[in-house]
Structure 1
Amino acid sequence: MSELPRGTVTFLFTDIESSTRLLREQPESYARQLAEHRANLRDAFRRHRGVEVDTQGDAFFVAFSRASDAVAAAEDAQRGLEDSQVRVRMGIHTGEPVVTDEGYVGLDVHRAARIAAAGHGGQILLSQSARDLVGRNDVRDLGKHRLKDLPAPERIYQLGSGEFPPLRSLHATHLPMQLTPFVGRRRELEAARSLLSRDGVRLVTMTGAGGSGKTRLALEAAAAVADDHEDGVWWVPLSGVSMPEDLLPAVGRVLGSGRATEAIGSRRILLLLDNFEQIIAAAPEVSTLLADCAHLVVLVTSRERLALQGEHVYPVPVLAREDSLQLFQARAHAVGSDFEPNQRLDELCARLDDLPLAIELAAARTSLLTIDQMLERLGSRLDLLRAGRDTEARHQTLRATIEWSYELLNRDERHLLGALSVFRGTWTIDAAEWVAGATLDLLQSLVNKSLVLRPQSGRFAMLETVRDFAAEHLTPRERDRLLGRLVEHQLKVFENANLGRRADGHPQMNLANAERPNLDVGLAWAGESGHADSGIRLLVLTEMYWNTTDPAGGRERLDRLLAEAGEAGKPLDLGLQARAYRFRGATFDLTDRFDLSEPEYARSLEMFRAAREEDQTGHLIALIGNSALRQGHIERAIDLATQSLEIARREGNPGDEGFALYVLAMAAFHQGDTDTGVRLAHESAPLTLKGGSIWFAGTTLLGAAEFLIAAGRIVQAEHDLATGLEYLASVSDRLNVAFALAGAAAIAALKKDAVRAGTLWGALEALKATAAGELRTSTGIAMDDNIRYIDPIRGAAFEKGRGSGRVLSLEAAIEFALTTGS
């Protein structure tokens, strides 16, 4: 063995996933595959200057002098295994181990081994230290994980963008990474930890003024009790949520989409609901969650208590003076100044009432001002800016601190800070320029002064306390002008986001998700200011977003705008009204209330005709036909779809023609005419593709395949399902993909291919076990729909495939369904 690297060393551990199963299934070829695996890995290690420390069975332990060499070796080794059935998991960690005559000893060796063991075949995992040294951009933060025999949670990263099941760790914490160390507050942290760990305590609310450090203390407390919550600790930021009814959807999105209660279920979870005060009316929803989810614990930060039964309130105190001094010095050094404390720092902390935000804002100025200068500037404004006697003292002091920081800005910086306060959640640099008149230099100046934040997402944000203060410096007229600019900007941005009814490109769902808080602000202003028409146009431009994520919420916002337009006596353009009622109808469609969607579509059709927008009428007629079909009125559906088809062909509209044919195809299937249904579905799909909707082409072919499976026409079903699955996977429609995988398993079962059927069924079982919300529900429904095909083929061969399928990621299962067995 070559001489072992010393000093800072990077360890790479590898192990074959499911090697025992591979040996059992392929005993004749296992020895050859194992030898090829070893040769491939040793070649990669040698080329990147790795030293083989130990080999046991199918596992390697290799040391490198440089972290970058270890990562390069791991990547080369995985590439060499791409055509092999051997799947290898790899873990990389950098530390400073002790070298003895027997080799390496120390916790770093165990840490590297445990990180590797937590992974899956084909996956490369990195520790925090290895990630920091490598400095790669193509790494994904998988959060903190408890690993066997290690004293503290480890933050683990994945190299590359591959999709894998959750890590095999004891449990995970889904908390944001903190860029600064947690300073002081040991007593407060222990008190909060003790309260959260007490039997029977399921709701804890941390209260205090804005800027008192509630969020940071809550994050640390949540991490400290992670061992008590085997299904994870989840952070739900509420600063961008402005309406009480949006609380549960926000929780559902963090947990993986769907309804919050379904996503939590019986799991042992701690939810941290951060910044609750702006939706305090949603407090009863927390009681409902706790009642429906028996093992849920909720930690809340808020400026006021929730006033619920069973609530335990923990008032967050100001910092102890020793902690204030430590925090000030730590933050002063972090901004790059050569700050040296003097005797007056204690006085400054006292004048700041030991509030964390006040101290951090003051420390940010140490590169410009001395302690004496700070005291002079702060002292001249404290009394002047105090609020009334009935205002909380901490809030008064924080207000003075922000005022002092504000006074240090020049006129242009102050103007921009006030203008940026109209945003909620986060915003882009383009939005700042368009709405607030920002320049790059001014925006950078506010970021440098810690008044504007730039999270890792690349978008900008602002502390709520700073935003509230900045907003007070806007006159009502100026605020109205800025909000008008915000709505104008949103209309411009979403005009080309492909989220409307007739899109011709890839829908920008991520943009709509990020802009949701600003959409809510803009929609509210539009109604309040007499610009309901602009708000309705904005809803219409984002229709796909609302219909696929929150149809009921979209309808509520639309109804408010329509009511406000009516109260103002300002008639809406007929074409806009028609689109509004079509939007409303779709929200009922997507909640399976076809009896309510039909009259909305009929009203929309009438208005389009009155507006002489005849090019819109054909699609509306087909929508009414689809509603009729779903209510069992097949003949009426056929008549309406036929009318729509004639209009679409006359106008040369392939998208509308495809949708009309889809309705006719589904009607034929419901009448038992499978041949006609297949023919019409095959005519529909290419037309909807031509019209710009690959998603609808995929759902059409999947629907046809499901009827073909029921009719026993397996060859045709397999072809349609494969094409439909490919289309749906290309637009990341995970819900319908679950139905496609279940259909593929049914086809394999009908073809007596038990191993293939078992593999796909095992993949579905794994998806259902790891998914949350609507995806879990849809997967369960898909399995229930096809279980009748699976039960007759169960046996040893099926179980063999099932075991293989349960370790597949969703992407691997899709690939398996598309490339095998046809």
Structure 2
Amino acid sequence: MARNIRSRAGPGRLAAEVSTFINRRREIAEVRRLLSTARLVTLTGAGGTGKTRLAVRVARELRRAFADGVWQVDLAGIGDGSLLEYAVADALGLRGAPDVPTSRLLIDYLSDRSVLLVLDNCEHLVDDCARLVNALLRAASGVRALCTSRQPLGVIGETVFTVTPLSVPEPGVALATGAAVTYAALALFAERAGAAVPGFTLHAGNLKTVVEICERLDGLPLAIELAAAQLRTRSIEQLAAGLADRFRLLATRHAIPGHHRRLQETFDWSFTTCTVPERKLWARVAVFRGSFDLHAVTTVCASDDLPVEAVVDSLAGLVDKSIAIREEVAGQNRYRLLDTVREYGLGQLGDTDGMPALLRRRHRDWYLHLAERFEAEWFGPDQQRWLTRLRLEQDNVRAAIGWCLTTPGESRAGLRLVADLQYYWLVGGALREGADWLDRALAANSAATPERARALHTYCRILVSSQGDAAQAPERAQEFLALSRRLDEPSLVARAFHVLCLTAQLDNDMARAQQMAEEAVVRFAALGEMDATVVSAQIALARTVLSQGDRARAARICAECYAVCAAHGEQWGRSQALGESALVALDGGDVAQATGYANERLRIKSALGDTLGIATTLEILAGIAVAAEAYERAALLLGAADRVRQQLGQRTFASPWLRSWRKEYVAAAVGALGEAGFDDALRRGTELSHDDALAYALGAAGDRTRRTRSAKPAAEAGPAAPLTRRERQVAELIAEGLSNKQIASRLVISQRTAESHVENILTKLGFTSRTQVASWVTKHPPS
């Protein structure tokens, strides 16, 4: 019920708990025990039993056991199995290159890491989840998976744990008020009722009624929460009477298992408690995936029988009834439905008046309009805001594209939508996904249209941005040029020459690249155009003339681009100009100026979340460090860049010219430090967190960076904090390769005690993995 945030306790991402977690100690302990021996545990159960909350709580308690973090992937917003791998990569912060399959990116990244993946809401993607989890577990021995699904994945080695409803008193059991909260269902009702009606408590006068309500709801947490929310508008007695009447009416109409039936009945009952406008909106708003804002809802869902004012009031009513969830994200209010609530809404929509198709089309039109605005406003002061907005809208954008490409007669709109998102794919780190959508959209639209030409432009930019397909990029660029000429579109022809410049750079034909860049820049000037692509063409020209020895002209072009971007409040193009300016300054021997340019570029890239740009800037700074004879710093920066590149599935610069430069300065650093010294510094760079790497690169290293610069390899670390006798025993057993369960058995202690000892050892020695502890034991035998 809350947006994902990064854990302060270490790497990873888990949904924040914003309401009380009702005690499930037995279940938590059992799932933790299962994960200590099984690499795949699936929590199953009916919708509304609390699988997600249990999984998140277990994962949070296990954070210290996984050196590289626990990562939650919410699949409720993913309607197409082909997007599963992207969702996992997004959660891990991986940004794949177009020529690296996402499955390979995931396997390469996870192969040597200790990670717990929490795949949440797998039931509608069971086969896809099974294939992916099976592949990851086979390839990455340090990975474990905790899944939630209404049915098992069916993977060999899977351990299934059934999440049952919350405990309720047995019928007829006399219950004292003070003992009521020992039953989880009653405790949950009391807590949620207190949130709906401040001051609500369980007492002798209402206890029997609350027990009756929880019994009728079979202890289902979601059903209890929906019911408790009704206390805002009715008394506890009215709530109980309404449930009783509704369930008697429905009892003969459902031939489905008990817990599923109770949730269905609860939704049916909640539906009847809504006003007519609220019912209509519940059904219509279910067309959205993930989260959405009020403007989108009013545009997509309003109609003659549900005007905008009624939509606004009804959405507030659905929030009051806990049917819709409101949350503040990036300073704005957004809304979402739980997956089970959304499914129910879709079931109420029907198809008697063509409403589902109308809503899908309106939904698509809204996100197409959003993409068009993004493209039109990209060259301006709101780039960071736009990237944040599109990342929030990712599930809905995917749904809109997918609908276009699977609905007859709509693929051309899908082509427009994918093409207009060019700078989201390029700067937002979604190169692989953008390339895949473009593959599908272009295949579905072979006609010679302006939409196809613009899509080819976007596709070519993606291919050449990060070591794209060397064979396909030039071929597609030539197709783009030919089609633009055929359509007599001068602006597109100019853009085609820019792309041809980039493909020539990939071939290391810098003379031809300069010729193509000159042609593009001249054509743009004749048209009087100025946008991010025009700036990119000018920057490409600056690089080509620098490679040909004309440093002065390259400097002038960069300065002009920087000034134009600054005048427009534009950030991305400015950062591109700064990168080339750093190379120009370095070519002239001005290390201080080059450092200033690169640092400013890094700050912008970081603010935009431009992962590829961050990696490139770190490599530029490494080259500058070599020029300053700061060889250890250079190796550390290269290590940090390599870590980011690994997230992209890349190795180094796309440009052969820049790769050659990197090869030269790496050789200089190795020569100065020796291979062992270089490798050690490189390794320490790869161990820097994202924030620490940026701080170090910008010359404001914090404590973590200072420790990294002066630290010896983990195996050589000294006993800064002495271990107790028992902790020493546990450390030695860790060195033998024993699990926490095996350690507990060997020392005749509880597994939880063994886990506590392991956590204390890691904290005292400043380590993050059991491997480091084992190395330390080897280096420090008992005295």
3-state DSSP of counterpart to 2:230: coil
Q: 1:227 to 1:387 in 2, by over 3 A?
A: farther
Deviation for aligned residue 1:360: 1.4
**How far, CA to CA, are the matches of 2:19 and 2:571 in structure 1?**
46
Deviations 1:454-510 (A, max 9, x none): 124231111111111111121331122222222222233333324888778625211
From 410, 415, 427, the equivalent of 1:531 is 410
Please tell me the residue identity of whatever aligns with 1:719.
Q
Q: Is the 8 A contact 2:116 2:145 kept in 1?
A: yes
3-state DSSP of counterpart to 1:618: helix
3-state DSSP of counterpart to 1:460: strand
**How far, CA to CA, are the matches of 1:735 and 1:580 in structure 2?**
22
Deviation for aligned residue 1:635: 5.3
Please tell me the residue identity of whatever aligns with 1:305.
P
**How far, CA to CA, are the matches of 1:686 and 1:172 in structure 2?**
41
Deviation for aligned residue 1:269: 1.9
Deviations 1:123-169 (A, max 9, x none): xxxxxxxxxxxxxxxxx986353xxxxxxxxxxxxxxxxxxxxxxxx
Task: Provide TM-score, normalisation by structure 2.
Answer: 0.72
RMSD of the alignment, in Å?
Answer: 3.9
3-state DSSP of counterpart to 2:349: coil
From 137, 147, 165, the equivalent of 1:300 is 147
Number of the residue aligned with 2:471: 595
3-state DSSP of counterpart to 1:300: strand
**How far, CA to CA, are the matches of 1:499 and 1:281 in structure 2?**
40
Q: Is the 8 A contact 1:618 1:648 kept in 2?
A: yes
Deviations 1:41-83 (A, max 9, x none): xxxxxxxxxxxxxxxxxxxxxxxxxxxxxxxxxxxxxxxxxxx
Number of the residue aligned with 2:191: 330
Number of the residue aligned with 1:213: 50
3-state DSSP of counterpart to 1:473: helix
Deviation for aligned residue 1:704: 7.0
Deviation for aligned residue 1:647: 2.2
Please tell me the residue identity of whatever aligns with 1:514.
L
Deviations 1:303-324 (A, max 9, x none): 1211111111111112221322
Number of the residue aligned with 2:114: 268
3-state DSSP of counterpart to 2:326: coil
**How far, CA to CA, are the matches of 1:214 and 1:634 in structure 2?**
57
**How far, CA to CA, are the matches of 2:580 and 2:667 in structure 1?**
18
Deviation for aligned residue 1:393: 3.0
Number of the residue aligned with 2:40: 203
**Is the strand fraction higher in 1 or 2?**
1
Deviation for aligned residue 1:207: 0.9
2:12 counterpart of 1:143: no
3-state DSSP of counterpart to 2:415: helix
Task: Provide TM-score, normalisation by structure 1.
Answer: 0.69
Q: 1:677 to 1:173 in 2, by over 3 A?
A: closer
Please tell me the residue identity of whatever aligns with 1:329.
A
Q: How many residues matched?
A: 638
Q: 1:267 to 1:558 in 2, by over 3 A?
A: closer
Q: 1:470 to 1:373 in 2, by over 3 A?
A: same
2:370 counterpart of 1:493: yes
Number of the residue aligned with 1:277: 123
Deviation for aligned residue 1:529: 5.2
Q: 1:475 to 1:601 in 2, by over 3 A?
A: farther
**How far, CA to CA, are the matches of 1:771 and 1:228 in structure 2?**
26
Deviation for aligned residue 1:604: 2.5
Q: Is the 8 A contact 2:77 2:290 kept in 1?
A: yes
Listed as ranges, the matches of 1:66-145 within 5 Å are: 143=7, 145=9
Deviation for aligned residue 1:256: 2.7
Please tell me the residue identity of whatever aligns with 2:668.
Y
Q: Is the 8 A contact 2:623 2:665 kept in 1?
A: yes
Listed as ranges, the matches of 1:468-487 within 5 Å are: 468-476=343-351, 477-487=354-364
Deviation for aligned residue 1:264: 3.2
2:277 counterpart of 1:412: yes
Number of the residue aligned with 1:715: 589
2:60 counterpart of 1:223: yes
From 428, 431, 440, the equivalent of 2:293 is 428
3-state DSSP of counterpart to 1:497: helix
**How far, CA to CA, are the matches of 2:6 and 2:530 in structure 1?**
44
Of the two structures, which has the highest relative contact order with CA contacts closer than 8 Å and spacing of 6 or more?
Answer: 2
Q: 1:697 to 1:525 in 2, by over 3 A?
A: same
Q: Is the 8 A contact 1:255 1:772 kept in 2?
A: no
Q: Is the 8 A contact 1:682 1:701 kept in 2?
A: no
Number of the residue aligned with 2:341: 466
Deviation for aligned residue 1:779: 10
Deviation for aligned residue 1:634: 5.1
Deviation for aligned residue 1:205: 0.5
From 414, 420, 426, the equivalent of 1:547 is 426
**How far, CA to CA, are the matches of 1:310 and 1:803 in structure 2?**
35
3-state DSSP of counterpart to 1:816: coil
Deviation for aligned residue 1:379: 3.5
Deviations 1:384-427 (A, max 9, x none): 54698764332221011011011001111111111211111001
Number of the residue aligned with 2:707: none
**How far, CA to CA, are the matches of 2:458 and 2:667 in structure 1?**
38
2:227 counterpart of 1:353: no
3-state DSSP of counterpart to 1:175: strand
2:377 counterpart of 1:516: no
Please tell me the residue identity of whatever aligns with 1:192.
V
Q: Is the 8 A contact 1:352 1:359 kept in 2?
A: yes
Q: Is the 8 A contact 1:339 1:366 kept in 2?
A: no
Q: 1:634 to 1:783 in 2, by over 3 A?
A: closer
3-state DSSP of counterpart to 1:809: helix
Q: Is the 8 A contact 2:43 2:147 kept in 1?
A: yes
3-state DSSP of counterpart to 1:530: coil
**How far, CA to CA, are the matches of 1:493 and 1:657 in structure 2?**
23
Listed as ranges, the matches of 1:551-700 within 5 Å are: 551-564=431-444, 574-590=449-465, 591-633=467-509, 636-653=512-529, 659-660=536-537, 662-667=539-544, 673=548, 675-676=549-550, 679-680=553-554, 682-683=556-557, 686-687=560-561, 690=564, 695-696=572-573, 698-699=575-576
**How far, CA to CA, are the matches of 1:173 and 1:334 in structure 2?**
30
2:691 counterpart of 1:816: no
**Is the helix fraction higher in 1 or 2?**
2
Number of the residue aligned with 1:6: none
Deviation for aligned residue 1:182: 2.1
Please tell me the residue identity of whatever aligns with 1:335.
A
Q: Unmatched 5+ residue regions in structure 1? A: 1-139, 146-170
**Range 736-745 or range 600-609, more displaced:** 736-745
Please tell me the residue identity of whatever aligns with 1:267.
R
2:648 counterpart of 1:774: yes
Deviation for aligned residue 1:642: 3.9
Q: Is the 8 A contact 1:434 1:489 kept in 2?
A: yes
**How far, CA to CA, are the matches of 1:372 and 1:744 in structure 2?**
70
Q: 1:274 to 1:783 in 2, by over 3 A?
A: farther
Please tell me the residue identity of whatever aligns with 1:272.
V
**How far, CA to CA, are the matches of 1:622 and 1:611 in structure 2?**
18
Deviation for aligned residue 1:232: 2.7
Deviations 1:512-562 (A, max 9, x none): 111111112212233315222322222222121123433332233334445
Number of the residue aligned with 1:193: 32
**How far, CA to CA, are the matches of 1:421 and 1:353 in structure 2?**
26
**Range 691-700 or range 394-403, more displaced:** 691-700
Please tell me the residue identity of whatever aligns with 2:462.
T
**How far, CA to CA, are the matches of 1:545 and 1:142 in structure 2?**
22
Identity %: 27
2:81 counterpart of 1:244: yes
Q: Is the 8 A contact 1:697 1:724 kept in 2?
A: no
